[in-house]
A = this chain, B = another copy of it.
């Protein structure tokens, strides 16, 4: 399973995100052919995708110009992944968090109106898992249940654009857990809020679902901010290269 052009795409994407290839830098297909020892169509296909993400622009006689960040399609999951893997991680998580505070309450409100019985069941099941694993202190299992909960909720919103953001939410939750921005044992009140969202959705209470979700996000934001403050006091968060 080679996927040569995919390798080149990934390598170039990371170099651009990482800043090695800054905005305004120019390179040619020939450079890429030589550097990665691939043929024309391989470099071309990689570059074509990069161009479709707004990261480079190609002009005859000039070459490929790296575009400024304002042109990037920042909702592309690949780009999000690259940024999360780079020194940009903190900024990316902050952006995603702020975004989430906007759309997740809306999704909760819509889900209360539109969720099918099956989705209500899945939501309840996920909450049950969160309670169990939260009490047991199994962070990975808790994370999985948390991700499942939010995924079902977004899907139940009946809005395909909100549903498409499930990957974003999963990344944020996973990032928080794996970079130790979570308490060693999930807080009881956070879990209670998830229980409340599930209840409100089952009851068809959009206002309550929305309010509970807003509290979840607010609580999460506070937790991250508190941790960041602590890290700063302690002299860094250990994430920078």
Chain A interface residues toward B at CB < 8 A: 5, 41, 44-45, 48-49, 52-53, 69-70, 72-78, 94-96, 98-99, 101-107, 110, 157, 159-164
Contact = CB atoms under 8 A, between A and B. Distances in A.
A69 B163 CA distance: 11
Contacts of A162: 95, 98-99, 102
Nearest to A98: B159
A95 B160 contact: yes
Given A99-B159, A102-B103, A102-B105, 12 more contacts: A41-B41, A45-B48, A48-B48, A48-B49, A70-B160, A72-B164, A73-B75, A74-B160, A74-B161, A74-B164, A102-B102, A102-B104
A127 B70 CA distance: 24
Contact of A77 (B45, B73, B161): B73
Per DSSP, chain A at the interface is helix
A44 B52 CA distance: 14
A161 B75 contact: yes
- Oligomer: number of copies: 2
A162 B95 CA distance: 8
Nearest to A53: B52
Contact of A95 (B45, B52, B78, B161): B161
A9 to B, nearest CB: 9
Contacts of A72: 160, 164
Contacts of A104: 102
Contacts of A164: 72-75
Contacts of A73: 75-77, 164
A83 to B, nearest CB: 10
Given A5-B48, A45-B48, A48-B49, A159 B95 contact: yes
Nearest to A47: B45
B76 A76 contact: yes
Contacts of A76: 73, 75-76
6 contacts: A45-B45, A49-B52, A76-B76, A99-B103, A99-B162, A102-B102
